[in-house]
Amino acid sequence: MIVDAIRAFQDELVAIRRDLHRHPELGLEEHRTAEIVARTLASWGIEVHRGIGGTGVLGVLRRGNGQASVGLRADMDALPMQEATGLDYASRNEGRMHACGHDGHTTMLLGAAKYLAGAGNFNGVVNFIFQPAEEGIGGARAMLADGLFERFPCDSIWGLHNRPGLPVGQFAISRGPTSAGGGFFDVRITGRGSHGARPEASVDPVLVAAHITTALQSVVARNVPPADTAVLSVTRIAAGDAYNVIPESALLSGTTRAFRPEVMTLLEDGLGRVARNVAAAFGATAEVDCRLIFAPLINDATLADAFGDAAAALVGEVNVDRLKAPGMGSEDFSFMMEKVPGAYIQVGNGDSAQLHNPRYNFNDDAIPYGAGVFASLVERRLAKGAVG
């Protein structure tokens, strides 16, 4: 069984994962991580390509004469936050933490690579894609701009993410939409500053920011069709430096989320219209900057079934939820899936803290299941006579 075969070298994988956890690196700064990945792949006889999209790494493994190819992808970057786990392998890099489990994803893909390079039974080409800068910094698009699929063609691509609250040894997947598209926005409000004791001499940008924040709640409620799901959240308001000064300007920032590109456009249009006109009503101006950071992640239905089948072959159908509800979190693997059909699966992380929490920790017991589902998929997709 694949999972048992991977457990035979789990100690090696756990050591790698905890080393990566101890030394987290932010997006496009993953130089140490990338070097460890590249050296490890090369030690197993896998062809290695460095520096794709900045700090990305790609391994190529060919077997037999098959021309079909699959791409397996994992992310490598950490988050700019302070760890509070107290683990003996906790982050040594101040203000850096693997709070989303990318250290585990990288290790899972390495585990699949080691298994496939050794006992793997397949005929074709496997591209192991280690992506930098997933956390809103554009790593997927950077790899695409560097000719990822022109240089390393893939018939299909596959990714995974750990899921806190889902028991280890279980999987969950959606047919169709699985993760929302995500945008970031900034609204810079310019008014007129004055002494705090003379508000009549001002055009108060703080007041304007508060009214814009309230009015923006109508964008989803009164513009998005009820059958669609969307989120518009103001997450930051910054203004002023002193108790007795009404400032000249204020900055309002936040995020938009939706499952369809058309709804993302609707949110952007509504945000701009409300912000500019509310500001004008108070005699201020508002400059709006909206940026698409993540496209909606849409699983190919047929490939989602295939990923579910690969998982069920490992753990049984009872441990695979094929009807996972889409989530409003975002994932820039979506940009790769816009170019090549693919699917994305959730892997149980057990009873851990939630993602992006300072007490989160990836569950090492999940490693053989993530590595195993990748390996199972390859052996099924690249079996003799199969199409990738």
Tell me, what's the pLDDT at 387? Answer: 52
Does residue 269 sit in helix, strand or coil?
Answer: helix
d(CA 182, CA 262): 13
Amino acid at position 16, single letter: I
Tell me, what's the pLDDT at 277? Answer: 98
Domains and CATH numbers, the chain: 2-179+296-381 (3.40.630.10), 182-294 (3.30.70.360)
Cα–Cα nearest to 288, from 306, 273, 301 = 273
Tell me, what's the pLDDT at 317? Answer: 98
Tell me, what's the pLDDT at 385? Answer: 58
> What is the number of other CB atoms lying within 10 angstroms of the CB of residue 165?
10
Per DSSP, 86 falls in state -
d(CA 34, CA 29): 9
Tell me, what's the pLDDT at 77? Answer: 98
Does residue 358 sit in helix, strand or coil?
Answer: coil
Cα–Cα nearest to 183, from 104, 264, 103 = 264
Per-residue pLDDT of the chain (388 residues; tens, 9 = 90+): 899 999 999 999 999 999 999 999 999 999 999 999 999 999 999 999 999 999 999 999 999 999 999 999 999 999 999 999 999 999 999 999 999 999 999 999 999 999 999 999 999 999 999 999 999 999 999 999 999 999 999 999 999 999 999 999 999 999 999 999 999 999 999 999 999 999 999 999 999 999 999 999 999 999 999 999 999 999 999 999 999 999 999 999 999 999 999 999 999 999 999 999 999 999 999 999 999 999 999 999 999 999 999 999 999 999 999 999 999 999 999 999 999 999 999 999 999 999 999 999 999 999 999 999 999 999 999 996 555 5
Here the tokens at position 142 are 């950077």
> 336-354 in b/e burial notation, b at 16+ Cβ within 10 A?
bbeebebbbbbbbbbebee
